[in-house]
Chains A and B, each alone.
Chain A
Amino acid sequence: MIRLLIEKELKELFRTSKVIWMLGAILSLMFLALYNGYAYYVSHSSLLRESQEVTYKQFISQGDKNPHLGAHFGFYAYKPTADMAMVDNGIEDYTGNSFYLEPHKRGVVKFKEISDATGLRSFGFLNIGYLAQFILPLFIFLITHNIFSKEWENGTIKLLLSSKATTHQIFAGKLFACLLLVLSMIVVIALAFMVLLWKENDQGSFARLLPACGFYILGLTLFSIMITAIGTSVSLLTKSSTLSLILLSGFWLVGVFLLPRLAGEVSKNVYPSITSLEFENKTFDEKQYGVGNEGHKDIRREKLLKETMAKYNVKKIEDLPVYFIPITIEFFEESDGVVMDRAYQAVDENESLQDHFVLASAWLSPFLAFRDFSMRITATDMSTHNDFTRKAENHRRKIGEIVDDFYQKNTVAGNDFWKTVPQFSYQAPGIGWRLGNATHSILILTGWMLFSIGLMVFSSRKMTV
């Protein structure tokens, strides 16, 4: 019975020229998105991988230098392109990817690609993630908005209801017909994505990526089912194609564009960010004049000298068996580090409050929740970025220690020494960690799933003449 209903719906859909046009459009967009995402991934990942090699090579072949001067030459920690960035590049282009490993300067990630983009960038970046989060829902709504209402508008509902089919069967038939269309597209996406991923990775890393891919595709599938269910239910509830089209596309517009942006602006007002001017002034003061009653830098330096001289039992700085400058550098590296860590932590915490605020608004927009889920699973989110920053900063301090230890005994460092400084490499944590970060959005999506089930039950009760 349901098969019959599905067949009839599909026949009707495929004989409507607008549906064919839409399908054609979305399919070509899909391939373009795959290509674009793939090209992005390939060019970015190779650039970053090679640059990481080059910057380190430059560092270890810089020749004989004062160790501190050489350390200032430093090298860069580049955030490698996320392994699933060909699907969704999330906030990658907004966070930057270069972290300067240089002594006594708390690193900041630089080179936001977005700064070197034209206004076109504000229209989004077409990849599978963008397609799934922005265009696919609208496409689903365009397919489903009249799937029920047309029966009323054609007047076929009476014949349909006087048949043997139950309302549940009729609902299921229509839902499955739409799902067949939607899910077959997702299958194509999933297959193409798998092939590209397999092509770009060796067996080991492909196997490592599989769970994340699985979860992403599962999420995308459930999300599309939910959107289809909502579209179908609204079509049934309104019994009018135009009204349901207005309602659904309004819901889409609000959920995809309006609400996230509005929530973003509100969050900036609720949790205002510190300006970089204030940030600079504040950290400068704390470093210079000390926190609490630490005292001015000069006083602390004097104290350090006295302590060092006492330690080595000498009366004059010239008699120290070690060099004093690296000791001061190391000392202030630590105390300044505390100041900078605290300041950056405050910034990070404020940003995470803002992010949570925005995400909370996803209770009103499943699209936003899915966008968050997508970024988390593909590790193109803020948490991954912060994880990278943390690890790069740790690496920076490790280098500082190595150089300062050497500098206490030597005034010239050669390539032999530079080679003892370890290269930086980063890999985003695995699926467990990613899912952990996505808990909130998964919870919201589950809520929406329940809502859509409720909506289906509620609407199928309204299937009367």
Chain B
Amino acid sequence: MKLSVFNILFNHEIKILSRNKVLVSLFSLIILILISSLWIGSSMLQKQQETIGKITQTETAMTDSLKTRIKRIEANQMVYPGFIWDDPTFAYNTARNEGPKYAVKKPFALQALNVGQSDVQPFYYKVYINKKQYLTYESEIENSFLQFIGNFDFAFVVIYLFPLLIIVFSYNVLSSEKEQGTWVLLKTSNHSIARMILWRIVIRYILFTVFFWLIVTPFLISQIGGSFLITTNWAWLMAFVSLYFAFWFAISFLVNSFSMSSNVNAMVLIFIWLFTGIIVPNLLQVGLSKTYPIPSRIDMLTEERNAINKYFEKDGQELTKDVFSSPRAMIRQASIVTPEMVYGYGVIVYKSQEIKDAATAVAEGKLYTQIQKQQDAISRFQLLSPALMMQEELSALTGTHWHQFNQFSLDVDKFRKETQQFYYPKMAHENTCRTFSLDDADAIPQFKSKDYRDFSWTNLRQTFFTYLGIIAIVVFAGYRRMLDSTK
């Protein structure tokens, strides 16, 4: 019995939806937009992969060049024919020139779905011993204006455009019956109107969601290969996107249950969309930046410079004097660069860097703590804005969340320390100055690259079930209201 009602309604819905020219053309348009967003995302991914390929090439070329040059010097009784600042047997020179290695965050395939933070955070660093990457890095050359405008990715289409499409699909599911006058006929049939309307919303939801994934999945496989299908990231991503659609259908059902006119329904739904999708995140931003202000990197810089100035008042002053005024350095005649001068610079750089690193450690810790606090607050307030929740979870699932980039940055920091530990002793080897050998060239530390797709730091399950609960409550409330109003 129930099944046959379902069948009747199902056929009815398909007829109604497919004969509505506005809906069909709108839907086709959105599908086109969806596909172009997927295409844009995958071409960005490909560009990153190409860049990483080039990085590997560059690195190999650098290492080869370094080794050849050292070999040549060693074969030539340690005589370097060129400029002394380019002589690779000085550890300090190599550390500046061909030594620095790249640290790369391997892009995860699903990144094609969500740009997240990957347009404002670098996915590779060239790691120097004397430059703190967060103070000096140049991220990928990005047009600030385009960054400001924002990205056009799958996440944007799903989070912003699809709710509106769902609204257009369902805002008048009850009110149109009233306005057309078919309401009376439905009322006289022996089925509960509330149940019928609920079924119709459910049918529309199923049609919508199934159709969505039938388009997205094959297209994505054609663009980025099918390996993502077996990741848990993908399963969760599908679950969350479907949940998000369900949320909007449920809200639409609830709004319908108030028996207002189609026009008022549409306005209320648009307002909910605007409020939860744009205004709440903005308000949250105002509040969070007041509660947990993020310090400027300028402060860090100022502290670093203060420490250096302090250092040069005494210890640094003596060290420089020692280095530059020693008879061996012959610096008094600032025309010729001597080996001791190269060495001396190396020592000064190394000493100052230690001072700088110590000075900024506190400020750096504060910066990351504040951002982390904001992040924690965001996950607490996610309930207020489904759009925000989706953005956070989609970023986490596609490996483009701030947390993941921060993790990468911390790993790079560790790697930088490792690199420093490698060079410093060689730079401080006072007796010979020229300590860097062929074996050292092979021993330069390498960064172990990862894709940071792990999302275990976020509590997906809890968010998912909370939202599922909200949806259930919304549907139940809508159903109750509808029962009352259709009596």
- Judge whether B152 and A264 touch: CB under 8 Å: yes
User: Would you call B402 an interface residue if the criterion is a C-beta within 8 Å of the partner chain's C-beta atoms?
Assistant: yes
Interface members, chain B 87-114 (any A CB < 8 Å): none
User: Would you call B139 an interface residue if the criterion is a C-beta within 8 Å of the partner chain's C-beta atoms?
Assistant: yes
Tell me which residues across on chain A come within 8 A of B401, comparing CB atoms.
Answer: 119
Interface members, chain A 112-146 (any B CB < 8 Å): 112-126, 130, 134-135, 138, 142, 146
Tally of B interface residues using CB under 8 Å = 99
Greatest chain A CB density within 10 A among B139, B335, B348 is at B335
Tell me which residues across on chain A come within 8 A of B281, comparing CB atoms.
Answer: 120, 123
- Judge whether A135 and B168 touch: CB under 8 Å: no
User: Would you call A450 an interface residue if the criterion is a C-beta within 8 Å of the partner chain's C-beta atoms?
Assistant: no
- Judge whether A73 and B334 touch: CB under 8 Å: no
Interface members, chain B 339-370 (any A CB < 8 Å): 348, 367
Chain A contact-residue range equals: 35 or more
Greatest chain A CB density within 10 A among B143, B305, B387, B388 is at B143
Name the prevailing secondary structure of the A interface residues: helix
Name the prevailing secondary structure of the B interface residues: helix
User: Would you call A245 an interface residue if the criterion is a C-beta within 8 Å of the partner chain's C-beta atoms?
Assistant: yes
- Judge whether A108 and B148 touch: CB under 8 Å: no
Partner-contacting stretch, out of A161-169, A202-210, A315-323, A421-429:
A315-323
Tell me which residues across on chain A come within 8 A of B164, comparing CB atoms.
Answer: 249, 253
Chain B 262-273 per-residue mask, 1 if CB under 8 angstroms from chain A, else 0: 111011001100
Tell me which residues across on chain A come within 8 A of B139, comparing CB atoms.
Answer: 112, 115, 276
Tell me which residues across on chain A come within 8 A of B168, comparing CB atoms.
Answer: 246
User: Would you call A306 an interface residue if the criterion is a C-beta within 8 Å of the partner chain's C-beta atoms?
Assistant: no
- Judge whether A91 and B145 touch: CB under 8 Å: yes
Tell me which residues across on chain B come within 8 A of A130, comparing CB atoms.
Answer: 282
- Which of A108, A118, A260, A323 contacts B378, CB < 8 Å? A118
- Judge whether A120 and B285 touch: CB under 8 Å: yes
Chain A 268-283 per-residue mask, 1 if CB under 8 angstroms from chain B, else 0: 1100011111111100
Tell me which residues across on chain A come within 8 A of B58, comparing CB atoms.
Answer: 277, 281
- Judge whether B149 and A261 touch: CB under 8 Å: yes
User: Would you call B172 an interface residue if the criterion is a C-beta within 8 Å of the partner chain's C-beta atoms?
Assistant: yes
Interface members, chain A 61-82 (any B CB < 8 Å): 61-66, 69, 73, 76, 78
Partner-contacting stretch, out of A177-185, A218-226, A333-341, A350-358:
A350-358
User: Would you call A111 an interface residue if the criterion is a C-beta within 8 Å of the partner chain's C-beta atoms?
Assistant: yes
- Judge whether B298 and A142 touch: CB under 8 Å: no
- Which of A90, A114, A135, A298 contacts B83, CB < 8 Å? A298
User: Would you call A374 an interface residue if the criterion is a C-beta within 8 Å of the partner chain's C-beta atoms?
Assistant: no
- Assembled-state Cα–Cα distance A280/B51 (Å): 13
- Judge whether A55 and B278 touch: CB under 8 Å: no
Chain A 182-194 per-residue mask, 1 if CB under 8 angstroms from chain B, else 0: 0000000000000
Interface members, chain B 121-143 (any A CB < 8 Å): 121, 124, 126, 135-136, 138-143
User: Would you call A461 an interface residue if the criterion is a C-beta within 8 Å of the partner chain's C-beta atoms?
Assistant: no
- Judge whether A124 and B278 touch: CB under 8 Å: yes
Complex: chain B residue closest to A299, CB-CB: B82
Complex: chain B residue closest to A138, CB-CB: B274
Greatest chain B CB density within 10 A among A22, A64, A123 is at A123
- A–B pairs, 16, beta carbons within 8 Å: A36-B286, A43-B293, A47-B298, A48-B298, A91-B145, A94-B144, A112-B139, A114-B147, A142-B271, A146-B263, A249-B270, A253-B161, A264-B150, A273-B143, A276-B139, A298-B83
Using A112-B144, A123-B388 as known contacts, list a sample of 16 further A-B pairs with CB atoms less than 8 Å apart, ordered by residue number in A: A22-B271, A78-B298, A108-B138, A110-B135, A112-B139, A119-B401, A135-B278, A135-B279, A246-B168, A261-B149, A265-B40, A276-B140, A326-B334, A354-B146, A355-B145, A411-B334
Query: B interface vs A, CB < 8 Å?
Result: 22, 33, 36, 40, 43, 47, 51, 54-55, 58, 81-83, 86, 116-117, 120-121, 124, 126, 135-136, 138-152, 156, 160-161, 164, 168, 172, 262-264, 266-267, 270-271, 274, 277-279, 281-286, 288, 290, 293-294, 296-299, 301-302, 305-306, 308-309, 312-313, 317, 320, 324, 331-337, 348, 367, 371, 374-375, 378, 387-388, 391-392, 395, 401-402
Query: A interface vs B, CB < 8 Å?
Result: 18, 22, 29, 32, 36, 39, 43, 47-48, 51, 54-55, 58, 61-66, 69, 73, 76, 78, 90-91, 94-95, 97-98, 108, 110-126, 130, 134-135, 138, 142, 146, 241-242, 245-246, 249, 253, 257-258, 260-262, 264-265, 267-269, 273-281, 297-298, 301, 317-318, 320, 323-326, 347, 351, 354-355, 358, 381-382, 385, 407, 411
